Amino acid sequence: MSLNLIKLCVGCDSVEDLEEWIAFRLDERWRAGEPVEHYHTTRMMPTRSAEVTDGGSLYWVIKGNVQCRQLITEIRPFTDDEGIGRCHLILDPAVVLTEWQPRRAFQGWRYLKPSDAPADLSKGKAGLVEMPPKLRRELADLGLL
């Protein structure tokens, strides 16, 4: 059974910001002749990595709400230049919109059971996907999303 991770998406004001950042970083790697893959670096190595890479996703908290997720395809541990153990969470660059779920701020990442994860936005909720991010945020702040 798969297990997910949840993390704050620091520096992004919207899912669109995250998608632009991913596109920028992939282009940057391509131009540098590096492998074109998207990853997030974290200090803590998930001890349950086999469960996470078995179909788990990284759910992003943006502006106090889980708003999207990315599939975790691999976890690569490494030691940085200062001798600190870290890992790369290798992510599918495709961002999947989810139903908004309020979350308080926390440090690092946390495990997220599939039963606690917000559902992907279905085709029946296409209007939410097409809604401008600012309007979605205002409706969420009012508790209407």
pLDDT of residue 27: 96
- Band of residue 135 on the pLDDT scale cut at 50, 70, 90: confident
Beta strand pairing call for 57-62 and 4-8:
parallel
Adjacent-strand bridge partners of 70? 58
Mean pLDDT of 9-27: 93
Mean pLDDT of 118-126: 72
Tell me the per-residue pLDDT of 35-62, one tens digit each, with 9 for 90 and over.
999 999 998 889 898 999 999 999 999 9
- Band of residue 130 on the pLDDT scale cut at 50, 70, 90: low
pLDDT of residue 133: 66
Averaged pLDDT score across all residues of the chain? 88
pLDDT of residue 126: 54
Residue ranges of domains in the chain: 4-141
With a pLDDT cut of 90, the percent of the chain lying above it is 61
Mean pLDDT of 111-118: 93
Put simply, whether the predicted model's pTM sits higher than 0.75 gets the answer yes
- Is 26:93 a contact under the CB 8 Å cutoff? yes
Residue of 64, 63, 62, 127 lying closest to 95 (CA atoms): 62
pLDDT of residue 90: 95
Lowest mean pLDDT of 93-97, 100-104, 126-130, name the range: 126-130
Question: For residues 17 and 23, what is the distance between their CA atoms, to the nearest angstrom?
Answer: 10
Question: For residues 7 and 59, what is the distance between their CA atoms, to the nearest angstrom?
Answer: 6
pLDDT of residue 28: 95
In eight-state DSSP terms, residue 120 is B
